[in-house]
Structure formats: structure tokens, C-alpha cells
Amino acid sequence: MSIADESGKTFKEELRGGAVKMGLFINSSSPTVAEQLSTSGYDWLLVDCQHGPMNPENLSHMLAAIHCGKAKSMVRVASPTDFSGIQQALDCGADGILVPYICTEEEATNAVAAAKYPTEGTRSVYFPQRSTNKKGLLGYVGNANANVIVALQVETAGCIENMEAIAKVPGLDMLFLGQNDLCMSMGLYVKYEFPHMYTSDELNEATTKLITNAQANGVILGLFLFGTDRVQEFIEKGFTFISIGTLLVVVVVVVVVVVVVLVVLLLLLVLPVLLLLLTRAP
């Protein structure tokens, strides 16, 4: 359980130092699944309140389950202006938040401020709650601004256009590249046949602008990928906080493996019988 200790600051320092942290997006609202994933070797797990079936009670149970293991807990809130979602996620014990669909410097500034206590931000202080249970009110609140992970999602053409200013926002820890929505926002799904938009010159130029500005300001680079085919490519570009898919991908892989195993077992059982019948045939 990492909530309310000093490990958030260490986690960010390791990412900035080049240590790669792999994680997974969880779109399920099952605490049982979240708990098992947290003990399965992932460095972080993200509860998706933007696209997943979450309400505040689900979220509280999900974060409690993740904290049973060693994974850091992240929450993607619903929108750039979901300030109550940011408050609830952090009060329920999330180690960090991911804010989607950032377009402007003002949106970025307000989102970061919502995750920080005054005088750095606008987060409200309250006690008792899960985030303060481990070290008490003063023990948590006094260290939260340094330990909470604040990430903004880069997934709009406007974000790329305003990247120089966004990357300089005080208190920002991470810029997280969402290639799917960014390609959509830039019109690349119309211009290219799938999957060529992901290797297009336009997306590469946008990614380079993100990398240049993030590295110039000491901001961590994060990324969503489906699978591991391009992980090494992006590690070499400086991305250290990497999602290798969603819970759905894991489920599909598990189902495929189970089906293959069952087919193999069936063949092992049936083949000897068939061979025996063939050898006895007149």
C-alpha cells in the first residue's frame, strides 16, 4: 500500500531518471480484478472514470483493492473540468490523476491546481478520509503536493498547438500521449487507412514537438499502447510511463490462451483414440 507515504516522489524521480514503469488501464468496476492485477507485477494501474462504468463508490472500492498490492494507483477523470472528480480520486487514496482532453494552457493550469493543496493549488482539505488514514491530516497534506502524480493527456490538435506553454505549467509531472484521439483530432483517420495514421509524418511531427517540450521542462513522458510491439521504439524516444493496453486486452489474451490449451488437451485425448481405431480397422 503506497498511499500517503513518500513513494510518489520517488516514483516520479525514477521515471525522470529513465526507469520504465509499465501499467494497465482498468475499464472494469470489479475490485476483485483490480486487486489481482495489483499483485501481478504491474508498476501502476489506472482506473478509468472517463470511459469505464465508475461512480464514486465503485472508485473507492477499486482504489482500496489496488492498494492491497504494490502497484501505484492512477485515476483518469472524466474531463478537463472534472474538478470534483480530481478531488474525490485523491481523497479516496489515488496516487495520481490523469486529466484527458487538455487543449489550452488555461485548462492545464486549472487541472494541475485542482490536484494541489494551497498555496500551490485549489484542492480542499478534509479529514478523516482514506488518503489521511495512514499518516494523519498533517502527515498527508503536508507532503501531498510533492507525492501526488499529476498527468495531463495529450490527445488533441489544440494541445499540440499550445504544447510549448502547456509543458511549462508549474506542478505538472507528466504529459501522456493518447495517439488514438490525437489522430482523430488531427483528421488522420480520414486521411489514412488504418493503421497507417500511427506512423504518419503528421503524428511523428506532433510527437516530436511533445517530446522536445516535455524534456526541456523536466516533464515525464507517458504513452498508451495496445500491446508491446512498439514499446522499445518509444522507450528510445524517452517515454518511461507506458500502458501496454487495457483490461479488455488482458481478458482477450487469457481467453485465447485458454482456448488454445483446451484445443491441445482435446487433441491429446482424441488422437490416441483415433489412432487406435485406425490401427484396428480392417
Phi, psi of 53 (to 5 degrees): -85, 65
Instruction: State the pLDDT at residue 256.
Output: 45
Instruction: State the pLDDT at residue 22.
Output: 97
- The reply to whether 223 falls in a domain is yes
Query: DSSP readout, 105-150?
Result: HHHHHHHHHHTS-TTTS-PPP-SSSHHHHTTHHHHHHHHHHHHSEE
Q: List for the chain the helix, strand, coil content (%; round to 5).
A: 50, 15, 35
User: What is d(CA 45, CA 62) in angstroms, rounded to the nearest whole number?
Assistant: 10
Q: Counting Cβ atoms within 10 Å, is residue 140 exposed (0-12), middle (13-18) or buried (19+)? A: buried
CATH of the domain at 137: 3.20.20.60
Contacts of 61 (CB under 8 A, 6+ apart): 31
Query: DSSP readout, 157-181?
Result: HHHHHTHHHHTT-TT--EEEE-HHH
At 83-108, the pLDDT tens digits run 999 999 999 999 999 999 999 999 99
- The reply to whether 49 falls in a domain is yes
At 242-274, the pLDDT tens digits run 999 765 544 444 444 455 566 666 667 766 766
At 23-70, the pLDDT tens digits run 999 999 999 999 999 999 999 999 999 999 999 999 999 999 999 999
- The reply to whether 83 falls in a domain is yes
Residue in the structure block whose three cell numbers are 509499465: 22
- The reply to whether 1 falls in a domain is no
Yes or no: say if 52 and 93 are a contact pair by the CB < 8 Å rule: no
Query: H-helix or E-strand containing 73?
Result: strand 72-76
User: How far is residue 39 from each of residues 36, 158, 228, measured CA to CA in Å?
Assistant: 5, 38, 20
Enumerate the active-site residues. 51
Q: Which tops the pLDDT comparison, 157 or 135?
A: 157
- The reply to whether 144 falls in a domain is yes
* Structural domain count, the chain: 1
Residue 28, SS3? coil
- The reply to whether 44 falls in a domain is yes
At 215-246, the pLDDT tens digits run 999 999 999 998 899 999 999 999 999 999 76
At 182-226, the pLDDT tens digits run 999 999 999 999 999 999 999 999 999 999 999 999 999 999 998
* Range of the structural domain that residue 47 is part of: 7-280
Query: H-helix or E-strand containing 263?
Result: helix 247-280
- Count of beta carbons in the 10 Å neighbourhood of residue 38: 23
- The reply to whether 2 falls in a domain is no
Residue 119, preceding bond cis, omega within 30 degrees?
yes
